[in-house]
Amino acid sequence: MDGETINRVGVVGAGTMGSGIAQVAATHGYDVVMRDIEQEYVETGFESIDDSLGRLVSNETLSEDDAEQIRERISGTTDLDDLANCDVIVEAALENLEVKRDIFEDLDDIADDDAVLATNTSTLSITSIASATERPGSVVGLHFMNPVPVMKGVEVVVGENTDPNVVDLAHEFAEDLEKTTWESDDKPGFVTNRILMPWINEGIRAFDEGVATKEDIDAGMELGTNVPMGPLTLADHIGLDICLHASETLHEELGDRYKPAYLLKRKVEAGNLGKKTGSGFYEYD
- Catalytic residue list: 122, 143, 155, 193
Long-range contacts of 145-150 (CB under 8 A, 24+ apart): 145/192, 146/16, 146/17, 146/20, 146/237, 146/238, 147/16, 147/20, 147/52, 148/17, 148/20, 148/21, 148/23, 148/24, 149/20, 149/23, 149/24, 149/27, 149/52, 149/56
Residue 166 to residue 162: CA distance in whole angstroms: 7
3-state secondary structure of 193: helix
3-state secondary structure of 71: helix
3-state secondary structure of 62: coil
Residue 158 to residue 141: CA distance in whole angstroms: 6
Q: Counting beta carbons within 10 angstroms of the beta carbon of residue 17, is it exposed (0 to 12), middle (13 to 18) or buried (19 or more)?
A: buried
In DSSP notation, 139-178 reads EEEEEEPSSTTT--EEEEEE-TT--HHHHHHHHHHHHHTT
Q: In one letter, which amino acid is 265?
A: K
Strand residue runs (E) in the chain? 8-12, 31-35, 74-77, 88-91, 116-119, 139-144, 153-158, 180-185
Q: In one letter, which amino acid is 75?
A: S
